[in-house]
Amino acid sequence: MDRLFIENLRIRAILGVYEWERHTPQDVLVSVSLFLDTRRAARADDLPGSVNYAELAEEIRALVERARRRTVEALAEDIARLCLGRPGVRKVTVSVRKPQAIAEADSAGVEIERRKPRTAKA
């Protein structure tokens, strides 16, 4: 399986459980890896058979900006569902990080991996 990825997509969003986080947008870094077969796109040298990562990035941005989730875990699940909805995507890894979460750390967050059920069409 091939891997198509977007790394560290920076999005301003409401995300968190603390009162100030519910009112003040903060930077969120989103990375996704989509696993699919890209041979058709490679043979045709065209996007059909793959995923347009520019379009996907905009969909992720719109989702994160409107989600207003309390936890990075819930937001990661939302993003995983979005990615798995793309034709041909069989598995996705999603990382959601908050750079300002811990003063002494570069970031804190979560990384999840989700697959389409075997019965689902790819």
Catalytic residues: 98
CB atoms within 10 A of CB 70: 15
With a CB cutoff of 8 Å and minimum separation 6, the contacts of 112 are 73, 76, 77, 80, 93, 94
- C-alpha 87/C-alpha 63 separation (Å) is 19
DSSP-derived 3-state class of residue 30: strand
- C-alpha 30/C-alpha 111 separation (Å) is 10
CA distances from 31 to 46, 79, 83, 100, 121 (A): 24, 10, 12, 17, 25
